[in-house]
Amino acid sequence: MYSRTENIALALLLLLVISLTGCDGGLEPKPPPLYGAIEGTIIYEGDWPSQESVKDLRFVALREVPAGIEDFLNFETMVIGPRLEYEVEQDHFLIEDVKSATYRYSGVARQFSDQLIDWEPLGLYKENGGVFTVEGDTVRLDIRVDFENLPPFPPE
Amino acid sequence: MKLFLGIIWIVSTLPALLPAQQDSDQRGELQGVVQTVQGETLPGVHLLLPELMRGTNSDREGRFQITDLPAGEYELRVSMVGFRTTTQTVRIEPDRATHLTIELIPLTVEADAVVVTASRRSQLAGRVPVSMSTVTADEIESRNVTSLDQVLHYVPGVQVTGNQVNIRGSSGFAYGVGNRVLLLVDGVPLMGPDQENLDFEGMPFTQVERIEVLKSPGSALYGGGALGGVINLITRDFPDQPQTSIRLISGAWQPVRYEEWRSGWDGADRFRPHSRLTLGHARQLGERFGFWASGMVSTDAGYLQMNRERSGEGYVKFGGSIRDGMDLYLYSGIRRSQREQFLYWNGLNDVLSHGTIDLGTDEVTGANDGLSDRLTVMPVFNHRIGDDLNYSVRGRLFGVAFRPLDDQGNIRPRHTHTYGLRYGGEAQVNSSHLRNTELTGGVSFDANWVESEFFVGEDSLTVRNQPEGALFLQADYQWSDHLTVSTGLRYDAYRVHTREVASRLSPKAGISYSLSRTLTARASYGHGFRVPSVAERFVSNRDFLPLESNVTLRPERSVGYEAGLTHRIPLGDRYGLSTEVTGFWNEYEDLVEPQFDTGQAAFRFVNLTQARIRGVEVTSNLSSIDRTRQIRLSYTWLDAYDRTLDLPLLYRSEHLFQASGRIFVTDWLETGADFRAASQPERVDTDFSRFVPDADVFPTVYVTDLRVRIHYSSLPGIELSGSLHLNNIFDYYYVDRPAFFAPPRNFQAVLDVRF
């Protein structure tokens, strides 16, 4: 059989390798997110487009100014409000459980076809450099939509 | 007179001075077989009678024959790279054949491994010109392997990402669709008809003799699926004596240590059990036939929400010699499983619960439940025509059915089901008629048929098929005892769409040269290619993730080069050290990867890029000759680079490290440990994290498994063993694939009875 020294040497080598691995625990939960709320009033001006070209209408808020339509698809980080009314002069929304963050690009957007990608902004919130949500607070916004003067997209 | 007496003296004493010629008018022959101490026959062993300057090499069955030898006693020298050279005295009897069985002792334990995957024929691992790793039945049993990924995790240079195998960076992560590694069972391809995925659990590991992993492009021998390598499971032969085995496994997943994670799912606070019962029986039937059968039932509560599974399977291999020189075998299996599939998590704060994807107006879920059935039938016919020629005909049929279940466990309507069938066959001829040359050639045909609403695509068809045919030829020439040269060529033709046919010529070349008894050099070059699977081309679904078809996908192509050195030296009388250094360089074109298409707001598989994957792999194996002490260390450095984007390739780790050790503390007590590490991928797909929170989190992997095993064989005719396996013993948390929490600490107790 093998000597005691051989057994001990092999056991120590194994222990050394496996002990090197026990120093780190790997993944761990992130600090819990903080939530605030966004409440807004929308005033519409001008003639509404046909209902066929307004498949969906919502308040959306993005953390960064989008470079193109693909940035509208960051569903994980953007805020999407409830569906808004069609052909009204004024509307109101409240979104709770909004992750505390700065949303630099926000406003009312419509989906103009059945394609998921076919969205465009109708009116933007331009005050204060963006929407800042803070835990427990409700941010109040006023957004104006002028159908005769829609904001350019992508933003200039 | 003196002269006359002198002549008489010379004539009378000459036979004594020249013993080899003492019976020079009487001739005999020497024949026999060369094998390892384990009884595996050894091809290519050099046998020499120095006094006569006569010699030969053993054939692929380990047999040798030297004819027309003068009767007498001679010294026979037997040598082979990687083995101790032996010398023994043999006596050649007049008009008779002297039979010998010669056993060679390896310098290191792996020197005597016989492999079949590198050239579609038996050859010693030390003589193949390409990188290969072999996992023995001993290792499979010691680690209590129940699925293929458990083995592959510890093969040098291999990573498993979800249900995809990545050999030396060949694959990243492609949502379980498409595969660059070909799975064979006894040389017969076993790939899914739709996704061409590997079924990690679809085989009876208690009946596997060894697993060979070819770690370079294998398309020149095996066609499209082998772009990144080949995994070949070699099943056991039938034992001489009837053998029955019972294996009972019982274990549990330990609750995770973070309250935040446990709070998201009611089932997370308790140990979640899993168990498995495997029964096997093998025996000879008469003198010519035999069989083994294996059945298994298992249940697993899963460590994630919507991750339970119940399954049952049965496998049979039957066959034997139907006439002298003719063998017929049939391998068949059936498996049913009811499995909840966890697809992606709910974020880093809720890793145990499946997530949902908000597509703006629709919401889809990251889990499903379904009933899966699989059928495998593989007949093999071998015919040996003389010593120099044999051929084999192999068939394969692999059927799958997937039927999703609703919340009440009822099967959903027929149109939601997926059915697939892959079938084909091949004929192969092996010839050694030409001196020192082994020729292997053949023809192969495969077709698949898939019906699924997942694969509707742009043409609105629900039935898909991709037939393919191939011709292949390979020549291995043993230039000398030291030098073996191998060349090969394969022509494949695939129908990739309703009318289009793609074809590809895949050459390869390799050389193996023994610089000394302990040092072997090898180099190889080969082309690889892969035709995209039905799923990559036609998948179109938004039930779990937005996926769109791309019928214009082109085949991927690769060219690979590698060179390596293997050094095997004895350390004292009881140990051997083997060290292998390999450099490899693979260039890929039209690599197919999933990419987010903003125009369709969905992922599509596209011919994305040109890529270069190069690296170095070092493996060192220290082992006692009796295999009771083994330590293996391996390190792989990978440079996987996207030449088109000028960025690292997605989901490739730059550093891989594996260490394994096994010690028999006493005759009855065995301990073992395995450790693997993979560095954080240099680049991960950020498009996936548009939909799934924290899908771009991919930490470094450190996993350590420990085991203790007790053997008890005092009862006559009964072998009993029990083992305890502690997996991921440090409870290290990582991801198995994007947004999929890998197994936390878990344990298994195994009871094994054989009689």
Pairs of CB atoms within 8 A across A/B: 106
pLDDT band at residue B22 under the 50/70/90 scheme: very low
Tokens read off for A41: 């009033």
Per-residue confidence (pLDDT) for residue B539, from 0 to 100: 76
Q: In chain B, what residues touch A2 (CB-CB under 8 Å)?
A: 574, 624, 628-629
- Residue B28 to residues B15, B69, B76, B92, B342: CA-CA distances in angstroms? 18, 5, 15, 6, 71
- Given the structure tokens 């499209």, which residue do they identify? B224
Q: How far is A21 from chain B (nearest CA, A)?
A: 6
CB-based contact, B690 to chain A, within 8 Å: yes
Buried b (16+ CB within 10 A) or exposed e, B659-695: bbbbbbbeeeebbbbbbbbbbebbbbbebbbbbbbbb
- B359 near B370, Cβ under 8 Å? no
The pLDDT tens digits for A78-96 are 888 899 998 899 999 999 8
B690 and A74 in contact by Cβ < 8 A?
Answer: yes
- A105 near B388, Cβ under 8 Å? no
The pLDDT tens digits for B670-714 are 999 999 999 999 998 877 777 888 888 999 999 999 999 998 877
CB-based contact, B675 to chain A, within 8 Å: yes
Per-residue confidence (pLDDT) for residue B82, from 0 to 100: 67
Burial class of residue B716 in the structure, from the number of CB atoms within 10 Å of its CB (0-12 exposed, 13-18 middle, 19+ buried): exposed
- B84 near B105, Cβ under 8 Å? yes
Question: Positive or negative, the Cα torsion across A7, A12, A18, A22?
Answer: positive
Q: Which amino acid is at B459?
A: D
Contacts 24+ apart (CB under 8 A), B411-417: B411/B371, B415/B453, B416/B453, B417/B452
Map out the domains of chain A as residue ranges: 35-146
What's the full length of chain A, in residues? 156
Tokens read off for A84: 């808004």
Q: How far is A118 from chain B (nearest CA, A)?
A: 9
Percent of chain B with pLDDT strictly greater than 90: 33
- B580 near B633, Cβ under 8 Å? no
pLDDT at B107 over 70: no
Which residue, among B574, B667, B732, B735, would best test binding to A if mutated, counting the most A CBs under 10 Å from its CB? B732
The whole-number average pLDDT for the span B81-99 is 84
- Residue B390 to residues A125, B327, B385, B432, B695: CA-CA distances in angstroms? 80, 11, 5, 9, 53
- Given the structure tokens 């829609």, which residue do they identify? A150
Torsion of CA A69, A71, A73, A76, to 10 degrees: -170
CB-based contact, B669 to chain A, within 8 Å: no
Per-residue confidence (pLDDT) for residue B252, from 0 to 100: 96
Question: How does the average pLDDT of chain B come out, rounded?
Answer: 84
The pLDDT tens digits for A13-22 are 666 666 665 5
The pLDDT tens digits for B734-750 are 998 889 999 999 999 99
Of A6, A32, A119, the CB nearest to B349: A32
CB-based contact, B364 to chain A, within 8 Å: no
pLDDT at B583 over 90: yes
In the beta sheet, which residues pair with residue A123?
A108
Break chain A down into helix, strand, coil percent, rounded to 5: 20, 40, 40
The whole-number average pLDDT for the span B483-505 is 83
Per-residue confidence (pLDDT) for residue B21, from 0 to 100: 43
pLDDT band at residue B378 under the 50/70/90 scheme: very high
In the beta sheet, which residues pair with residue A21?
none
The whole-number average pLDDT for the span B565-573 is 84
Per-residue confidence (pLDDT) for residue B112, from 0 to 100: 54
Percent of chain A with pLDDT strictly greater than 90: 23
B661 and A10 in contact by Cβ < 8 A?
Answer: yes
- B72 near B43, Cβ under 8 Å? no
| B341 alpha carbon, distance to own chain's centre | 26
DSSP A146: E
- B318 near B289, Cβ under 8 Å? yes
The pLDDT tens digits for B633-664 are 999 999 999 988 899 998 899 999 999 988 88
A13 and B661 in contact by Cβ < 8 A?
Answer: yes
**Please, what are the domains in chain B?**
19-105 (2.60.40.10), 111-754 (2.40.170.20)
Strands B123-124 and B114-115: antiparallel
The pLDDT tens digits for B412-428 are 888 888 888 889 999 99
Tokens read off for B427: 């004929």
CATH placement of domain A35-146: 2.60.40
The whole-number average pLDDT for the span B91-104 is 88
- Residue B627 to residues A8, B83, B254, B663: CA-CA distances in angstroms? 17, 15, 33, 9
Per-residue confidence (pLDDT) for residue B7, from 0 to 100: 45
DSSP A82: E
> Which residue, among B726, B731, B737, has the nearest Cα to B699 in the 3D structure?
B737
Kindly write down the DSSP assignment for every residue of B552-613, as one continuous string: TPPPEEEEEEEEEEEEEEEETTTEEEEEEEEEEEEEEEEEEEEEEETTTTEEEEEEEEEEEE
**Low-confidence stretches of chain A (pLDDT beneath 50):** 1
A29 and B261 in contact by Cβ < 8 A?
Answer: yes
| A15 alpha carbon, distance to own chain's centre | 47
Question: How does the average pLDDT of chain A come out, rounded?
Answer: 83
Which uninterrupted H or E stretch holds B292?
strand B289-300
